[in-house]
Amino acid sequence: MELELGLDPDDAARLTRLALIAPLKSGRARSRAVRIVWHDSPDRALAEEGLALAEQRPSWRLERLRPGISSWPPGAPAPVLATGRTAAALGHPVPEPLVPLAAFEARAVSQGLATEQGPVGMTLLNGVIRAFTGEHRISRVRLEGTPEAVEALAIALAGELRLAVPRASLATEAFAAASGMAPPPRREGAPELPAGLSVAEAFAHAVGHLGDVILYYAPKAAGGKDGTEPVHQMRVAVRRLRSAIKVFRRAVGSPSVETVDAGLKALAAKLAPTRDWDVFATETAAGVTAAFPTEPRLERLLAATERRRRACHDELRDFLASVDFRRLGIELACLAGAPDRAVTVDDSEQEEPTVSIEEFGARMLRKRRKKLMQVDDHLVSLEPAALHKIRLRAKRLRYAAEIFAPLYPGKATHRFIRGLSRLQDRLGALNDGAVAATMLAELAGNHAFATGLILGFVGAHSSDTRERIDKAWQKFHRLRPFWE
């Protein structure tokens, strides 16, 4: 396994002098100069294809700039599509004219390490990316060895240095420097499974995709300058990934999976209240304020709301800057990059891992749909607690359906997920009042009047929700499962 991690350049000089590294050194360190120049046409024709053309003497290579449908786990080296002595020898049309866009000039120091889990090759790349728009320092640490050895060393190093899974490849960083824009996200939304994967490979693909989403939005969520969307996207990705773990656990369960799930649970515990207070402040309370713009008691409650919201953002920011979050990123990258690690689920509990991914997916979807459908045909008379349980089951089925949907292209798949989403949204609207009441109870001070105002406003806007829920349920009930 090969893992590339981003290192704060100010920590680069400390790496080889760390107390944990000194006793592991095996043989002498080797040092060499590295120079990579990336080329493209003036209109970035190759970049538009998601490709990067790199010259690193004495050869050229064509590599991926961003993931396609195939798997490319976080922290893994960029897939090399072709190499040759010249750009023309790569077997891919090369645009004319070619111009240099950016260059990376660095020193590479390689050191063999003998760890308890096995030998690891460690290379520190410390240098500068230069482009017409300017330059910036960049450091990378590459580790190569067995998955167990690489992960253990990376986790240990992350506790000593500002070391983390990078959001973008070195080539992507260079192209971003050349354009003067931040690197785009590697992945977005729900994972799309390529055809022909095994069950373990499908799980690893989902982990890699959603891990990319989490890592991309983390600095944006911590920065607080991009509105509420980064926190929302992170929370959705965490929910999707934890749902994927539940779906695949009985086929790929292992201590690594449980460790990642525990880390995601800790992250979710910071994201959930932050997102809830974002929604309350920008949507629920904003609607009430528009209706009662001069009510002073409402203004005092909104000020308390904003203080609580800021406190949640501060706690999330601290977590995203912590060693725990850096280690979670590494654990996600290693789990996505080593799908063939042995599972440890008891044979009596384990789902058959050798079945096709289509058969596995159909089995999981069938189970989740059966749980959802175990209710009365009409939902109008059900208590809020019962409706809440149905909403959770609908959400779990939707996340699972999104994972396996690419294996079943067609209108039936889209109709099923759309109907399920509509049902979940209607059930969520009914739950808004209970959520608002719980949140308002957290606020210090005497806000009884304003609280009543908000809860009354929310209740009035959801008075017809039960009927709409029942209609959504009846429509969903008639939909044919797309996997059958």
> Is there a cis peptide before residue 97, judged by omega within 30 degrees of 0?
yes
More confident residue, 271 or 286: 271
Q: By C-alpha distance, which of 299, 67, 18 is closest to 183?
A: 67
CA distances from 3 to 75, 331, 332, 403 (A): 5, 11, 12, 26
CA distances from 84 to 54, 79, 80 (A): 11, 15, 11
CB-CB contact of 177 with 131 (8 Å): yes
Which pair of tokens denotes residue 354? Answer: 């050798």
Confidence of residue 50 (pLDDT cuts 50, 70, 90): very high
Q: What pLDDT does 147 receive?
A: 95
**Three-state SS annotation for 253-308:** CCHHHHHHHHHHHHHHHHHHHHHHHHHHHHHHHHHHHHHCCCCHHHHHHHHHHHHH
Rg, Å, the chain Cα set: 25
- pLDDT tens, residue by residue, 221-263: 999 899 999 999 999 999 999 999 999 998 998 999 999 999 9
DSSP for 139-177? EEEEEEE-HHHHHHHHHHHHTTS-EE--SS-HHHHHHHH
CATH of domain 243-477: 1.40.20.10
Phi and psi, residue 185, nearest 5°: -65, 140
**Three-state SS annotation for 200-216:** HHHHHHHHHHHHHHHHH
Which pair of tokens denotes residue 447? Answer: 């806000």
AA letter at 352: E
DSSP strand pairing (51-56 vs 25-40): antiparallel
CB-CB contact of 438 with 268 (8 Å): no
Cα gap 85→54, rounded to integer Å: 12
Segment 424-445 mean pLDDT: 80
More confident residue, 74 or 451: 74
Q: What pLDDT does 342 receive?
A: 53
User: Angle at Cα 139 formed by Cα 79 and Cα 267, nearest 5°?
Assistant: 80
DSSP strand pairing (118-131 vs 99-115): antiparallel
Confidence of residue 376 (pLDDT cuts 50, 70, 90): low
More confident residue, 440 or 82: 82
Distance of CA 469 to the CA centre of its chain: 31
Helices 411-442 & 384-404, crossing angle to 10 degrees? Answer: 140
Segment 405-430 mean pLDDT: 90
The tokens 């709409």 sit on which residue? 468
Instruction: Specify which of 16-20, 64-68, 336-340, 458-462 reaches the highest per-range mean pLDDT.
Output: 16-20
- pLDDT tens, residue by residue, 317-326: 999 999 999 9
More confident residue, 12 or 195: 12
Cα gap 284→180, rounded to integer Å: 38
Which pair of tokens denotes residue 81? Answer: 């599509």
CA distances from 239 to 64, 264, 333 (A): 29, 9, 18
The tokens 């520190």 sit on which residue? 124
- pLDDT tens, residue by residue, 172-219: 999 999 888 889 999 999 998 888 899 999 999 999 999 999 999 999
**pLDDT, mean over the chain:** 90
Confidence of residue 387 (pLDDT cuts 50, 70, 90): confident
Q: What pLDDT does 126 receive?
A: 97
Instruction: Specify which of 17-31, 58-72, 278-292 reaches the highest per-range mean pLDDT.
Output: 17-31
2-184 classified as CATH 3.40.50.300: no
More confident residue, 33 or 355: 33
User: Count of residues for the chain?
Assistant: 484
Q: What pLDDT does 194 receive?
A: 87
Segment 378-402 mean pLDDT: 85
- Whether residue 350 has pLDDT greater than 60: no
DSSP strand pairing (80-84 vs 118-131): unpaired
- Whether residue 403 has pLDDT greater than 80: yes
> Is there a cis peptide before residue 58, judged by omega within 30 degrees of 0?
yes
Give the count of beta carbons closer than 10 Å to the beta carbon of residue 197: 19
Confidence of residue 469 (pLDDT cuts 50, 70, 90): confident
- Whether residue 10 has pLDDT greater than 50: yes
Confidence of residue 267 (pLDDT cuts 50, 70, 90): very high
Q: What pLDDT does 298 receive?
A: 87
Helix (H) or strand (E) holding 465: helix 465-477
What residue spans define the domains of the chain?
Answer: 2-184, 243-477
CB-CB contact of 178 with 132 (8 Å): yes
Q: By C-alpha distance, which of 180, 176, 191 is closest to 47?
A: 176
Percent of the chain at pLDDT > 70 equals 95
Beta bridge partners of 3: 143
CB-CB contact of 71 with 208 (8 Å): yes
Cα gap 140→108, rounded to integer Å: 9
- Whether residue 374 has pLDDT greater than 90: no
- Whether residue 348 has pLDDT greater than 50: no
